[in-house]
Amino acid sequence: MNYEIIVVGGGHAGCEAALACSRKNHKTLLVTGNIKNIADMPCNPSIGGSAKGIVVREIDALGGEMGINADKSHLQIKMLNNTKGPAVQALRCQADKITYPKNMQTTLKKQKNLEIKESLVEDLIIENKKITGIILENGEKIYCNAVILTTGTYLKADIMVGDTRRREGPHGERPSQYLSDNLKKLGFKIIRLKTGTPQRIDKNSIDFSKTKPEYGDNIYHTFSFDTKPLYKIEDQVPCHLIYTTPLTHKIIKENLNKSSMYGGLNDIKGVGPRYCPSIEDKIVRFADKERHQLFLEPESLYYDDIYLQGFSTSMPHDIQEKMVHSLPGLENAKILKYAYAIEYDAIDSLQLKPSLETKIIENLYTAGQINGTSGYEEAACQGLIAGINAALKLENKEPLILKRNEAYIGVLIDDLITKGVRDPYRLLTSRAEYRLLLRHDNADLRLRKKGYEVGLIDEERYKKLLKKEQEINELIDILKNNKITPKEEINNYLLALNSTPIKDGISLYDLLKRPEIKIENINKFINVKYNKEVLEQVEINIKYEGYIKKANQEAEKMLELENKKIPSNIDYDQIHNLASEARQKLKEVKPTSIGQAIRISGVNPADISILMIYLKRGL
């Protein structure tokens, strides 16, 4: 049996990759260790969050599945940072860990051109530095034109609790034993990473009266630009907030030597994520903090597990019992699953092209945790891009490469291939230089056209975008062309809104620039009928016009440097004056442009100047 594209792994990256390829009419095979675990959420039960929520919308704009699936499968949803500016708002939902994978599996099974096979992949078939197939654990060979590896944490996975270490993946699944060794033989640099997950507590054993409930928003939201809300506001399930106690801290401090991480046990080589430290790590590093916040998050309507967010640890079971029981409301809590740390192999993401194709093996793509990232959303967006680009490659088309000013996805991939990864990479708003441009509300305006061009957005959805764009422009023109004059009635209205009365005529456009004037207030002067998405875009564009302009100017400067291309055959050893660190980094990363070279750590401005002069002289 031959396939055009094989996707290895059925996590969030694998699902998006498989769907993108098959939707683009390529015969696709998804190989996964356990079909039941496709689109599983082995860690936190949420989709979205700061920056990540914007990525989900970007995935949706490009024609990916995560947003649609999350809309079908959540327990509550809220807009984060809704008191802050539009650039940093993002949706987050508590996803149901039963229905989310189920819904995704249904979508995959219905998908034309897509087949699913249950097996582990242990080797790749390579001919002349080009991939031609995979070898399964039973020795079976399957041939294809392109492969996308989305192996998650399953490469040589080790689960660690206290002083025990077992070779297995999440849920006791079997990991891949040989694939990472085989990748190493092909020339990939293998790094070891580590992450962890906290305890699951039996809902019925928690005294919720000692906790503070955290509800979903009381207005409707959807991740997808196309779905209508499928839930009722009042049916949303709350999370609950608690804090660690002095006793918790005492227990942890007294038992630090028993933690895999702090006790020097287990010979841990993996590097853990900085942004998601274990509770013992937090207590050691922030010793002056009296308490730490923890969230009790429901995992599903269909079982009783509560996810204890913020309490991940690699302490042995008996200590975990004591720690959990020191928490308010959890005095008698029953631990259903203990916290554990997991160590796994990943490849060095510097060995990737911006298309997510590997530099070493043609037509081999990688996405998700194998590239050193962490998080469902980070994985999904890479899967989508790898899927699109593998398909485009087979179609002899240019890859889809998003720039840093176009999408968080662009920021993420550029960071991976330029800066590399030392600890599991999580997207943060602070990683985006032009985040005022990369808002959740304009993801469709930024990316839908590209989704349409690569063939994942259909005519109907594309026309919807064009209509929205047209209405935005219309409304802006209307506001520019309509003026109000200093009549008493108008000034009284302005005073009522705590705004200064006008002395001369002013366009509605300029009036809307005033911070206290909202777009709804404009209805007082002129009757316009547009939907709230259009009104929102117009308001943001007018209110923050100056800042958006500045961000665009900065982005243009960056693009100019991005357009200064570095030939792929450049020999850095011929450039005499480069600092040796810079030379080494440049040889490793092989930046495609000056813009990318600047972002490489260890390459300083003087090196860039030398490089630019070298290129200009055309030596």
> Which positions touch another protein (CB under 8 A)?
50-51, 80-81, 84-88, 214, 241, 289, 291-293, 295, 428-430, 435-436, 515-516, 544, 547, 550-551, 554, 557, 560-561, 576-577, 598, 604-606, 608-610, 612-613, 617
Based on DSSP, count helices (H) and strands (E) in the chain, helices before strands: 19, 23
Minimum CB distance to another protein smaller for 430 or for 523: 430
Please report how close the Cβ of residue 117 comes to another protein at its closest, in angstroms: 39
Write the CA distances from 545 to 40, 284, 539, 553, 558, integer angstroms: 42, 45, 9, 12, 20
Minimum CB distance to another protein smaller for 11 or for 86: 86
Strand partners, 98: none
Question: What are the tokens at 517?
Answer: 């004037």
Separation between Cα atoms, residue 346 and residue 420, nearest integer Å: 12
Going by C-alpha positions, the residue among 537, 533, 407 that lies closest to residue 464 is 533
Minimum CB distance to another protein smaller for 380 or for 598: 598
DSSP secondary structure letters along 358-372: BSSSBTEEE-GGGGT
Q: Are 27 and 3 in contact, with CB atoms under 8 Å apart?
A: yes
Please report how close the Cβ of residue 349 comes to another protein at its closest, in angstroms: 21
Please report how close the Cβ of residue 231 comes to another protein at its closest, in angstroms: 21
Please report how close the Cβ of residue 515 comes to another protein at its closest, in angstroms: 5
Minimum CB distance to another protein smaller for 84 or for 112: 84
Separation between Cα atoms, residue 579 and residue 600, nearest integer Å: 13
Minimum CB distance to another protein smaller for 18 or for 558: 558
Minimum CB distance to another protein smaller for 88 or for 104: 88
Going by C-alpha positions, the residue among 45, 72, 65 that lies closest to residue 108 is 65
Q: Are 417 and 408 in contact, with CB atoms under 8 Å apart?
A: no
Number of residues that this document lists for the chain? 619
Please report how close the Cβ of residue 427 comes to another protein at its closest, in angstroms: 9
Separation between Cα atoms, residue 47 and residue 475, nearest integer Å: 34
User: Under DSSP, is residue 142 helix (H, G, I), strand (E, B) or coil?
Assistant: strand
Please report how close the Cβ of residue 618 comes to another protein at its closest, in angstroms: 13
Please report how close the Cβ of residue 81 comes to another protein at its closest, in angstroms: 5
Please report how close the Cβ of residue 201 comes to another protein at its closest, in angstroms: 19
Core vs surface per residue 96-135: b (16+ CB within 10 A) or e: bbebbbbbbbebbeebebbbbbebbbbbbebeeeebbbbb
Please report how close the Cβ of residue 430 comes to another protein at its closest, in angstroms: 4
Q: Are strands 335-337 and 130-136 parallel, antiparallel or unpaired?
A: unpaired
